[in-house]
């Protein structure tokens, strides 16, 4: 159960951020509207939502998930894989430290984006990607191991369409995963029930379980039905403007329990 979330508003220069998508430039007013709906959704599910002001210095900084991995009372600050995003960690660190009493930092030469980390209870799937390297993954695995957690590495560098691991998987609790078809047979998922999203629904595998409800990008009725048939309540949200900038639902908040 989550009690809190930290979000950051997109700035007027949001379209200047990094993207590999070929979907056109985001509409800023629509991005603000979708972000506001996201905040309301989290609040409606019982979270206290802290919304930080936009940062024009860092156009990608609305994607706060990449700055830290939060587990119980430990905050692990990332070292982003894109150099232009390094400053985002220091920008948000004081806010995170108002909630967390213990912290660690991924160090060079390691790189790590929070979007590559999927928590499944006390087990973590850690993506090795274009943004998270082997050294950064190993540092996080070591830190989590000291907290009594296990982890498995999943190399997605040759998997088309996946910038981050959580572009292709989500954990819904009860040992249930939503998995993109491109990762469907990965041995790391042995022992989990997998809801396999067809290729056309890959973007929507970036969904989030929040206090018993799965928030899912709108426009993916087949995957919505699959998740509902697995026994989960689903809340669709429009995410079109963030998709244009390689962003998903998980990217827009740091969610935690106090």
pLDDT computed for residue 229 by the predictor: 97
Put residue 151 in one of left, alpha, beta given phi > 0 → left and psi -120 to 50 → alpha: beta
The pLDDT score that the predictor gives to residue 158 is 93
pTM for the model: 0.96
Spot the catalytic one: 7, 149, 207, 251. 251
What is the DSSP code (8-state) at residue 200? G
Q: Please, which pLDDT band fits residue 82 given cuts at 50, 70 and 90? A: very high
Place 223 in a pLDDT band, splitting at 50, 70 and 90: very high
3-state secondary structure 87-148: HHHHHHHHHHCCCCCEEEECCCCCCECHHHEEEECCEEEEEECCCCCHHHHHHHHHHHHHCC
Give the per-residue pLDDT at 199. Answer: 95
In this prediction, residue 127 carries a pLDDT of 98
DSSP state of 79: B
Q: What is the mean pLDDT of residues 79-88?
A: 97
Range of the domain at 111: 4-256
Contact 66, 78 (CB under 8 A): yes
Largest CA distance in the chain: 45
Q: Which tens digits make up the pLDDT trace of 2-35?
A: 999 999 999 999 999 999 999 999 999 999 999 9
Give yes or no for a contact between 79 and 110, defined as CB atoms under 8 angstroms apart.
yes
> Average model confidence (pLDDT) for the chain?
97
- The average pLDDT across 79-102 equals 97
The percentage of residues in the chain with a pLDDT greater than 70, rounded to a whole number, is 100
Q: Per residue in 127-186, pLDDT tens?
A: 999 999 999 999 999 999 999 999 999 999 999 999 999 999 999 999 999 999 999 989
Confidence of residue 118 (pLDDT cuts 50, 70, 90): very high
pLDDT of res. 65: 98
Q: Which of 118, 164, 186, 207 is catalytic?
A: 164
For 84-109, what is the mean pLDDT? 97
Query: What is the reported pLDDT for 50?
Result: 98
Q: Are 246 and 163 in contact (CB under 8 A)?
A: yes
Q: Is 194 tagged catalytic?
A: no
CATH classification at residue 178? 3.75.10.10
- The predicted-structure confidence for 225-245, as pLDDT tens digits, reads as follows 999 999 999 999 999 999 999
Among 38, 49, 99, which Cα is nearest to 71's?
99
Percent of the chain with pLDDT over 90: 98
Q: In the chain, how many domains are there?
A: 1
- How many CA within 13 A on the CB side of residue 236? 13
């Amino acid at each position: 159960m989550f009690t809190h979330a930290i979000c950051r508003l997109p700035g007027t220069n949001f379209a200047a951020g990094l993207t590999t998508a070929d979907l056109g430039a985001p509409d800023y007013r629509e991005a603000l509207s979708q972000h506001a709906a996201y905040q309301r959704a989290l609040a409606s599910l019982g979270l206290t939502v802290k919304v930080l002001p936009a940062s024009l210095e860092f156009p990608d900084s609305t994607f706060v998930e990449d700055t830290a991995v939060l587990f119980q009372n430990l905050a692990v600050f990332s070292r982003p894989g894109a150099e232009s995003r390094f400053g985002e960690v220091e920008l948000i660190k004081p806010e995170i430290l108002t909630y967390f009493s213990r912290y660690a930092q991924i160090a060079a030469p390691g790189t790590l984006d929070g979007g590559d980390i999927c928590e499944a209870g006390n087990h973590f799937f850690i993506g090795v990607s274009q943004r998270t390297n082997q050294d950064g993954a190993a540092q996080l695995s070591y830190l989590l191991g000291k907290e009594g957690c296990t982890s498995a590495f999943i190399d997605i560098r040759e998997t088309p369409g996946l910038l981050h691991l959580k572009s292709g998987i989500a954990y819904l609790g009860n040992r249930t995963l939503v998995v993109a078809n491109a990762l469907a047979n990965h041995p790391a998922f042995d022992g989990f029930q997998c809801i396999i999203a067809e290729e056309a629904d890959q973007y929507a595998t970036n969904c989030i379980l929040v206090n018993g409800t799965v928030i899912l990008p709108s426009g993916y009725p087949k995957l919505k039905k699959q998740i509902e048939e697995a026994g989960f309540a689903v809340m669709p949200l429009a995410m079109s403007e963030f998709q244009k900038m390689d962003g998903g639902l998980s990217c827009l908040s740091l969610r935690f329990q106090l």
